[in-house]
Amino acid sequence: MKNTLFLIALIISLISCKGQQLPLNTFMDDIPSNAHVKDLNNELNPYVGIYKANYQGEDITLYITKVNDKLEERSNKNFYRDALVIKYIVKNSSGIVLQDTQNNNIPNIELYSTRIRSYDNSVIFYYSGTNCRVGWGNVYIKKINATQISWLYQPNDRVILPGQCPGNPDLKIYLPETENPLIFTKQ
């Protein structure tokens, strides 16, 4: 009898330890700590791939992958989210690499999805910015068709005074910032 009760208690505790699964667009206030915000309807999959565009003589290559259970660390809670992650390479017209996050040459730059808008086939990404968070903001990617996406980057301002950014003094933002969406083509 004691063994049966112990076994039942163990099974119940194991089941309750499993993190709660919630759909992708769950509001932040409704996500409890240690929950899993899941891509239950495979809404992220159509965006996965390698995309290229040219803007003002620079070649930009985006490497979009899907990551399951990416840890989100917030000041008031931690949870897990299925997300799209963008790594990229920017080259000038001579083929010289200006910025490369694909090969983890700059590991502290992050560009990952935070929300999907089903009503217009777009995904909102958080961009951490370059050195000292210069250029942090949002990127909006919209699915146009099976081979094209549009890109709109909206950086927030951050004023850095001389000496405030130790280490790499390169404060240039290499991501394309355009008035109108920039079209990337799937490779």
Per-residue pLDDT reduced to its tens digit, 78-116: 999 999 999 999 999 999 999 999 987 676 789 999 999
The overall average pLDDT reported for the chain is 86
Are 48 and 66 a contacting pair, CB within 8 Å?
A: yes
Are the C-beta atoms of residues 64 and 85 closer than 8 Å to each other? yes
Residue 83 near residue 66, CB atoms below 8 Å:
yes
**Least confident among 54-68, 94-108, 160-174:** 160-174
